């Protein structure tokens, strides 16, 4: 079976990929289960650059196939911010509460029609030699609410309103979120390409 490393320590991303990938297509492992994996510095200026960096550097270090992704929020009124700084928008990496508070402050007073935004996800597959073999991306459009709503999800989910549902990602059922999220859309593009590649290189 094809051996594939996910360039993340996030078990939720592993589960998401397992649910979308045909059974038996690949053996999946996260960095959390691999001794000797490295922390790649995410200093790219775009999501695509960071995804490629995380995939190729980790693959070269481990000598294994690595699938990495980089994702985040871009807000139209903020000229694409927070962008690649989404996870550390307020300074401290992964402080969701502070990031959400800063975003609300930045958009204070703006009407709903000027609060358009999108979640972005870029995926990159590297071979063991550190060469990019596949890429895919997905987006999900919405707008930023004026207050937090919903306890599900993480990051900016409680602020990100999906117009069709009139609810935030923090309020939506997980099955609905999986169907329309930026990451799911990217994976639906990537998986057929990955299946064809696996057939060519062998398990």
Dump pLDDT digits (tens) for 8-57: 988 878 888 888 888 889 999 999 999 999 999 999 999 999 999 999 99
Would you state the pLDDT for residue 78?
98
Is pTM beyond 0.85? Reply is yes
Q: Which of 70, 76, 105, 127 is catalytic?
A: 70
* Distance in angstroms (rounded) separating the CA atoms of residues 196 and 147: 44
Interval 140-166 mean pLDDT: 95
Q: Domain ranges for the chain, please list them.
A: 2-201
122 is in an annotated binding site: no
155 annotated as belonging to a binding site for a ligand: yes
d(CA 196, CA 133): 12
Strand partners, 126: 66, 132
* Predicted pLDDT of residue 23: 87
- CATH placement of domain 2-201: 3.90.950.10
In the residue annotation, 70 being an active-site residue is answered as: yes
- What percent of the chain is modeled with pLDDT above 70? 99
User: Is residue 99 a known part of a binding site?
Assistant: no
- Known binding residue 89? Answer is no
């Amino acid at each position: 079976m094809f051996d594939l490393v996910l360039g993340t320590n996030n078990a939720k991303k592993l589960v998401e990929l397992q649910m979308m990938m045909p059974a038996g297509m690949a053996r999946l492992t996260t960095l959390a289960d691999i001794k000797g994996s490295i922390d790649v510095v995410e200093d790219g200026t775009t999501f695509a650059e960071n995804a490629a960096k995380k995939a190729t550097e980790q693959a070269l270090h481990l000598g294994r196939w690595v699938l990495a992704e980089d994702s985040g929020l871009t807000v139209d009124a903020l000229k694409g911010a927070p962008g690649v700084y989404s996870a550390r928008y307020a300074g401290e990496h992964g402080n969701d509460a502070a990031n959400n508070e800063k975003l609300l402050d930045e958009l204070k007073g703006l009407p709903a029609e000027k609060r358009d935004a999108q979640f972005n996800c870029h995926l990159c597959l590297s071979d063991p030699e550190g060469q990019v073999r596949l890429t895919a991306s997905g987006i999900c459009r919405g707008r930023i609410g004026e207050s937090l709503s919903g306890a599900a999800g993480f990051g900016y989910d409680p602020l990100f309103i999906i117009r069709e549902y009139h609810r935030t990602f923090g309020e939506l059922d997980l099955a609905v979120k999986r169907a329309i999220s930026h990451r799911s859309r990217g994976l639906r593009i990537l998986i057929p390409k990955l299946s064809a590649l696996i057939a060519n290189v062998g398990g």
